[in-house]
Amino acid sequence: MTTYNEIAGRRVNFLSSDPTYVDSNSDGQVWYNSSTATLKSWLPTGAWISGGSLPVAKRDMGGTGTQTAALGFGGVDGPGTGLNTTNAYNGIAWTNLPATLNTARSGLGGAGTQTAALAFGGLTEISPYPVLSASESYNGTSWTNTPSLNTARNRPAGFGTQTAALSAGGNTPANTAATESWNGSSWTTVNSLNTSRQALAGAGIQTAGLAFGGYTTAATAATESWNGTSWTSVNSMNTARYSFGGAGSQTATLAFGGTITPVTTATELWNGTSWTSNPTGLGTARSQIGEAGTQTAALTFGGEIGPGPTTTATEEWNFGVYSYSAAAWASGGNLNTGRYGMVGAGNGSAALSATGNGSSATETYNGSAWTSVAPVNTTRGDGGSASSAPSSAALIFGGNPGYTSATEKWNGSAWTNTGSLNTGRYGPIGGSGTQTAALAFGGNNGSSLNVTESFNGSTWTTVPATLNTARFSLVGAGTQTAALAYGGYLASAVSESYNGTTWTNTNSLNNARRGAAGGGSQTAAICFGGGNTPYTVTESWNGTAWTNLPSRANAVEQNSGAGTTASALAFGGFPSFTTTERWTGEVATAGSKTLTTS
């Protein structure tokens, strides 16, 4: 009898608890958990989870890129209007881009990446609905017309890069097998598919691709492999379908959704030889969908869930040991005292709120409910706080009325006065760091300030560095020597980084805002709420750029908050909101499987 060691080259470990999953090299590891008396293993599986919704419901888009950097372009909306819009996905949320296709259309093919894409073919959604040969190139900023396809077509398969792509099949309006190759400057007709069809999917590169499914006179499961010169028929899909999604390479492909009559959730994986149906499919059955990614990390967006209704739904596919929960806001317990202009500390599961529009109230949050605790010594609002401090060791400073310089420390049960600011001010004031090593910046003492002060646990020192843009009602994140300042009055999008010596302008917020809240580090920060007209939109900072995240349920100005990109809390706001919302970033969890006999 062959042993597991002989098959896998490793032994079955006898352990009292489950081991830590390290990386893909752990896949297939088997162990016996003596505490639970179970035989277990790290077995990769595939599943879809919800992602951030498209801004507008649409179908028949072009798509390209990866799961965390995708591009969707063109398509048709619910009322039937052909679109020229472009959207970018960052792995969490979609953003409307200013770039628009030169030719509005649906049913177009796509290739390339989020910042170097190619769009070709499609259909004009205006009677008499002409099929198009138009081709366009995207450089991350704008679309530029390129030489057209030789054969105008709608709903072709497309794959490859911006400078080396392939277009196969489609309708002219009759089904076609025509295949064309793009070299970055022109399209060339090459050997045709063996099966003429439209609404098929494709994957791979210009010299090694796969075309599968589609519509002939009915849904087809036919699969063909491309070697750079010709197509070869290979094993068919398990589920014949059309107007579906595909992602991956010639030897590792994913197929999902589409129309069988009715629409389907079915998902299949191709290993270079045969297709295997996944036990679970899409969360939302649909066809005419956008797609991007690989066999192990794919994305689908939009589509028709009908026949009839279009959808904004986005789903992310992950194949591996990890399961993922999508980043999102959720409702939390209400404050006991509604107010605005508070300061905060902590994170989404353990937070503190203090002061606010002439209040001395302090409340602590345990992940589900707020509890009123000892009030501050100086009643105030619109102050500042050390944004990286835990809820058990907060530091607050400044505020209104009277441009106060008062500073207080929280020890988990009471507030104690400590050294005052050198420049009394209100804001909200930008703040970063902890109770013993903090930074205060910006604010207002009759005019907007650029002053920066450093706190050593007992006294404040004015430092030479000043903000490049004097402002108040801004947000702070980071530490005393590595801080970030963003937003402010009047509805500023300005963002600045501090290295312990000087402030430097960085890329701006996508949405100018005042009275926002947030937290995090200099290279991983979050911003929410605020605005001249209150926003629901949330943004994250990765050290280089701000990116939109899923929105809050409540549009609130002069809200307060605390936390990080992984766990944050938003609470209160103008005029006297008690509302609390909790942010949780995407969470990956390694899940083992229990092995049984059958």
pLDDT value at residue 181 = 98
Residue 319, helix vs strand vs coil: strand
Residue 360: how many other CB atoms lie within 10 Å = 16
CA 194-195-199 angle, 5° bins: 135
In 3D space, the residue among 121, 123, 34, 112 whose CA is nearest the CA of residue 72 turns out to be 112
Eight-state DSSP code of residue 24: G
Closest CA to 28 of 16, 17, 13: 13
Residue 145, pLDDT score: 98
Q: Give the CA angle between residues 488, 489, 495 to the nearest 5°.
A: 30
User: Residue ranges of the alpha helices (H) in 252-400?
Assistant: none
User: Which residues lie across from 70 on neighbouring strands?
Assistant: 65, 89
Nearest one of 257, 298, 324, 207 to 59, comparing CA atoms: 257
- Decide if 16 contacts 35 (C-beta within 8 A): yes
Query: What span, in angstroms and rounded, lies between the C-alpha atoms of 222 and 549?
Result: 39
pLDDT value of position 535: 83
Hey, how many other C-beta atoms are within 10 angstroms of the C-beta on 291? 30
The Cβ-side half-sphere exposure at 246, using a 13 Å CA radius, reads 32
* pTM (whole model) above 0.85: no
pLDDT at position 591: 86
**Rounded to 5°, angle at Cα 164 from 161 and 168:** 90
Q: What is the pLDDT of residue 543?
A: 95
Using alpha carbons, list the distances in angstroms from residue 535 to 91, 149, 167, 514, 581.
Answer: 21, 44, 42, 10, 14
Question: In sequence order, which residues have a C-beta less than 8 Å from that of residue 297 and are 6 or more positions away?
Answer: 66, 67, 68, 316, 317, 318, 319
Provide the pLDDT for residue 598. 58
Per-residue pLDDT of the chain (598 residues; tens, 9 = 90+): 677 677 777 888 899 999 998 888 888 889 999 999 999 998 889 999 999 899 999 999 999 999 999 999 999 998 899 999 999 999 988 999 999 999 999 999 999 999 999 999 999 999 999 999 999 999 999 999 999 999 999 999 999 999 999 999 999 999 999 999 999 999 999 999 999 999 999 999 999 999 999 999 999 999 999 999 999 999 999 999 999 999 999 999 999 999 998 999 999 999 999 999 999 999 999 999 999 999 999 999 999 997 889 999 999 999 998 888 888 999 999 999 999 999 999 999 999 999 999 899 999 999 999 999 999 999 999 999 999 999 999 999 999 999 999 999 999 999 999 999 999 999 999 999 999 999 999 999 999 999 999 999 999 999 999 999 999 999 999 999 999 999 999 889 999 999 999 999 999 999 999 999 999 999 999 999 998 777 898 999 999 999 888 889 999 889 999 999 999 999 999 999 999 999 999 888 888 889 887 5
pLDDT value, residue 306: 78
Q: Residue 26: how many CB atoms within 10 A of its CB? A: 15
Q: How far is CA 218 from the centre of its chain?
A: 37
In 444-579, the DSSP E strands lie at 452-455, 460-462, 475-478, 483-486, 495-498, 503-505, 517-520, 525-528, 538-541, 546-549, 560-563, 567-571
Residue 207, burial from CB neighbour count under 10 angstroms (0-12, 13-18, 19+): middle
Residue corresponding to tokens 């004015």: 462
| DSSP assignment of 341-357 | S-EEEE-SSSEEEE--T
Domains in the chain with CATH codes: 4-43 (no CATH), 59-320 (2.120.10.80), 332-584 (2.120.10.80)
The CA distance from 354 to 361, in Å, is: 6
Per DSSP, the residues of 56-124 read S-EES-EEEE-SSSEEEE--EETT--B---EEEE-SS-EEEES---SS--BS-EEEE-SSSEEEE--B-
Burial 416-453 (b: 16+ CB within 10 A, else e): eebbebebbbbbbbbbbbbbebbbbbbbbeeebbbbbb
The CA distances from residue 136 to 69, 108, 118, 391, in Å, are: 20, 11, 6, 53
The phi and psi torsions of 6 (rounded to 5 degrees) equal -70, -35
List the structure tokens of 169.
């099949």
How many other CB atoms sit within 10 Å of the CB of residue 10? Answer: 11
